[in-house]
Amino acid sequence: MATEGVDLKKRRMLTNAVTVAGAVGAGFVAVPFLASWAPSERAKTAGAPVEVDISKMQDGAMMTVEWQGKPVWIVKRTARNLEDLPTLNEQLRDPASENEQQPDYARNGDRSIKPQILVLVGICTHLGCSPSYRPDLAAADLGADWKGGFFCPCHGSRFDLAGRVYQGVPAPLNLEVPPHRYLSDTTIIIGEDGGAA
Ligand code: FES
């Protein structure tokens, strides 16, 4: 009888130990699951659309904002820049923007909603460097027929002032136009287009 009493006691202790271990185990399983399921506040902020006031931009100016951890450029093109764009078509890989590098509303000669305002993700389509803004016409290092655009210092890719890639450079695709729309004449929201794409 005494042995039975000890066995019973032992069994209860074991049962309790298993229950506690089970609860702890469940806790360890549940926490990472919840953590991976719910996006962190930081991730939500990083992915959120960004509102940009362009009211102070002068012709030829560029500003950079961050969206989803990426640089997004906004360029206010000059009338001369817009006139030059169609003259470059022969030198470009995808002048009509046939590749999926922009929403449908930016699949046009200027790759933009309003001709003067260009919005691009500032990441080279070759290996991801950030190209430089080079609006200077006939720049000494880029050639007498340079009409302004973007130059990637990593391997020499060139893009025009609509983000269209030139032929004969390593980058395979035009720069990406992110989803965006106008909240007013002078405010753009980047990262959201109300499903217009
Ligand atoms: S990363 Fe731009 S040319 Fe290679």
155 lines ligand 1 (CB under 6 A): yes
H or E element: which one contains 71? strand 70-76
What's the confidence (pLDDT) of residue 27? 39
Give domain status of residue 86, yes or no. Answer: yes
Catalytic residue among 155, 168, 187, 196: 155
Torsion of CA 113, 62, 109, 178, to 10 degrees: -60
| SS3 state at 101 | coil
Asked if residue 140 and residue 73 are part of one domain, the reply reads yes
Give domain status of residue 117, yes or no. Answer: yes
**Ligand 1 centroid from CA 116, angstroms:** 26
Residue whose CA is at the smallest distance from ligand 1 atom 1:
127
181 lines ligand 1 (CB under 6 A): no
pLDDT tens digits for range 42-51: 545 667 999 9
Closest of 197, 170, 195, 184 to residue 52, by C-alpha: 184
Tokens of 190: 């980047």
Contact 114, 182 (CB under 8 A): yes
pLDDT at 143 over 50: yes
Asked if residue 125 and residue 84 are part of one domain, the reply reads yes
Residue matched to tokens 């590098």: 101
Residue with the bigger pLDDT between 44 and 99: it is 99
Residues 136, 137, 143, 144: is their CA dihedral positive or negative?
A: negative
Asked if residue 88 and residue 10 are part of one domain, the reply reads no
**Ligand 1 centroid from CA 182, angstroms:** 31
pLDDT-derived band of residue 195, with 50, 70 and 90 as boundaries? confident
What's the confidence (pLDDT) of residue 41? 55
pLDDT-derived band of residue 89, with 50, 70 and 90 as boundaries? very high
CA distance linking residue 188 with residue 101, whole number of Å = 19
What's the confidence (pLDDT) of residue 196? 73
Asked if residue 107 and residue 59 are part of one domain, the reply reads yes
165 lines ligand 1 (CB under 6 A): no
**Percent over 70 (pLDDT), the chain:** 76
H or E element: which one contains 120? strand 117-121
pLDDT at 77 over 50: yes
pLDDT-derived band of residue 103, with 50, 70 and 90 as boundaries? very high
Q: CATH number for the domain including 81? A: 2.102.10.10
Work out how many domains the chain is built from and give that number. Answer: 2
**Ligand 1 centroid from CA 130, angstroms:** 8
Asked if residue 175 and residue 151 are part of one domain, the reply reads yes
Chain mean pLDDT for the chain: 84
126: annotated active-site residue? no
pLDDT-derived band of residue 140, with 50, 70 and 90 as boundaries? very high
Containing domain of residue 80, as a range?
47-190
